[in-house]
């Protein structure tokens, strides 16, 4: 009886250890340094998209997009699937608009293999 209890205890301990290892929580701190929130830029100027992503553990890539929310036009997209704990991005995009527009810079980080994501975005205004 003692051996059965011992084996049961060992099996439960190993099982709980595997479950907790598989459910390791990961998070990311996303900092968008440029553009600043509600920044104003002028037509044909270059928009700087710059920032950092720092993970609690290894991350599984990120995507950076620039979208004109006034027209729903995707202006820029860039991504990486490299697995790292930290990323830095610094991209430039010349912006051309016909009317005053609101642009959104969005960073989406893949936190794990299961597809859990973290997102941060900022908007700015472009004046023709």
Token readout for 40 is 């104003």
pLDDT at 62: 97
Nearest Cα to Cα of residue 66 among 52, 82, 78, 80: 78
pTM of the model: 0.80
Query: How many CB atoms neighbour CB 42 within 10 A?
Result: 11
Residues (pLDDT < 70) of the chain are: 1-25
pLDDT at 16: 47
For the stretch 18-36, pLDDT in tens is: 444 455 668 999 999 999 9
Each domain of the chain, given as residue ranges in start order, spans: 25-127
pLDDT at 113: 87
CATH architecture assignment, domain 25-127: Sandwich (2.60)
Q: What is the CA radius of gyration of the chain?
A: 22
Angle at 107 between CA 104 and CA 42, to 5 degrees: 30
pLDDT at 3: 61
């Amino acid at each position: 009886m003692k051996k059965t209890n011992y084996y049961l205890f060992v099996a439960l301990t190993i099982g709980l250890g595997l479950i907790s290892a598989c459910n390791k929580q990961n998070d990311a701190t996303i900092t968008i340094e440029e553009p600043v929130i509600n920044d104003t830029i002028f037509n044909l100027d270059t928009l700087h998209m710059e920032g950092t992503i720092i993970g609690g553990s290894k991350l599984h890539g990120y995507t950076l997009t620039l979208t004109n929310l006034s027209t729903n036009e995707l202006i820029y997209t860039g991504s990486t699937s490299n697995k790292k704990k930290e990323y830095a991005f610094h991209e430039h995009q010349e912006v051309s608009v016909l009317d005053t527009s609101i642009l959104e810079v969005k960073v989406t980080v893949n936190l794990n293999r299961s597809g859990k994501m973290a997102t941060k975005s900022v908007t700015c205004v472009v004046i023709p």
